[in-house]
């Protein structure tokens, strides 16, 4: 369990393995998720924290990637293992998706919400930069994922300075103001699973210093033991 801070990021950037791997991989240039990796060093560090052991064949035999998008590194994640992606890919073009599917070979892509997916067992399930603000169903996700996996890895985003968003409901004229999760709400969602979380440190959700992002958001990465 780790809270991402500038010191850890600086240490990572001394070698920046995600950048080096992406430069040698094709395709990827047309993918929005790839651009985000290229433009944001902190995203590369968090990506490495979650996927490092999956960027080469061997090790984890199966990986389910929830909301992970498509990047130049997708073919590496899919090589030599069963790989599944649950993601509507709203940010990508049909041409980009087709090119990536060809480069990555056979993998399972489900264009749907994870909550309605019935899937088999996995060695590892990863959700990167999805909970609890892109998707506020963090506790429900863990209830869904843990029976299916040996391990669940997450990067969690929260704001300890109040931050909110105005959204319009799809197909309706109604607008909603959504308050982003802070550390206390994130912690409350995790506490029922605390015994399963490696190196449980609830204090990591307090405080508001040392963000590696311009908007001040805080990131904690963690590993949760599954039921398999």
- Structural domains of the chain, ranges and CATH numbers in brackets: 2-225 (3.40.50)
Task: Summarize the confidence of residues 31-50 as an average pLDDT.
Answer: 93
How confident is the model at residue 101, as a pLDDT?
78
Return the half-sphere exposure (C-beta side, CA atoms, 13 A cut-off) of residue 102: 9
How confident is the model at residue 58, as a pLDDT?
79
Q: Do the Cβ atoms of 138 and 190 come closer than 8 Å?
A: yes
How confident is the model at residue 99, as a pLDDT?
80
How confident is the model at residue 28, as a pLDDT?
56
The sign of the torsion formed by the CA atoms of 214, 217, 218, 224 equals negative
Is residue 29 scored above 70 in pLDDT?
A: no
More confident residue, 142 or 21: 142
Q: Do the Cβ atoms of 144 and 115 come closer than 8 Å?
A: yes
Q: Do the Cβ atoms of 81 and 62 come closer than 8 Å?
A: yes
Q: What is the pLDDT of residues 175-209, one digit of tens each?
A: 999 999 999 999 999 999 999 999 999 999 999 98
Question: What is the pLDDT confidence band of residue 226, given thresholds at 50, 70 and 90?
Answer: very high
Q: Give DSSP secondary structure letters for 87-148.
A: ---TTS-HHHHHHHHHHH-S-EEE-S-GGG-----EEEEEEEEEETTTS--HHHHHHHHGGG
More confident residue, 120 or 223: 223
Q: What is the pLDDT of residues 86-123, one digit of tens each?
A: 999 888 888 878 888 777 777 899 989 999 999 899 99
Is residue 36 scored above 70 in pLDDT?
A: yes
Q: What is the pLDDT of residues 114-172, one digit of tens each?
A: 999 998 999 999 999 999 989 999 999 999 999 999 999 999 999 999 999 998 888 88
- Give whichever of 43-52, 77-86, 104-113 has the largest mean pLDDT: 43-52
């Amino acid at each position: 369990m780790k809270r991402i801070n500038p010191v850890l990021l600086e240490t990572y950037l001394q070698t920046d393995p995600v950048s080096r791997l992406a430069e040698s991989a094709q395709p990827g240039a047309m993918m929005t998720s790839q651009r985000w990796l290229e433009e944001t060093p902190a995203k590369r560090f968090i990506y490495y924290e979650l996927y490092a052991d999956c960027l080469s064949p061997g090790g984890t035999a199966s990986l389910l990637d929830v909301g992970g998008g498509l990047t130049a590194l997708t073919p590496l994640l899919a090589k030599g293992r069963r790989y599944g992606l649950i993601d509507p890919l709203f940010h990508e073009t049909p041409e980009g998706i087709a090119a990536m599917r060809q480069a990555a070979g056979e993998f399972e892509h489900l264009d749907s919400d994870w909550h309605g997916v019935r899937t088999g067992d996995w060695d590892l399930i990863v959700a990167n930069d999805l909970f609890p603000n892109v998707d506020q169903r963090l506790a429900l996700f863990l209830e869904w994922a843990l029976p299916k996996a040996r391990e669940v890895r997450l990067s969690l985003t929260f704001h300890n300075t109040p931050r909110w968003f105005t959204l319009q409901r799809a197909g309706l004229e109604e607008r909603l103001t959504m308050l982003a999760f802070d550390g206390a709400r994130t912690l409350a969602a995790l506490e029922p699973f605390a015994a399963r979380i490696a190196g449980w440190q609830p204090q990591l959700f307090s405080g508001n210093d040392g963000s590696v992002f311009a908007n001040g958001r805080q990131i904690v990465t963690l590993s949760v033991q599954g039921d398999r």
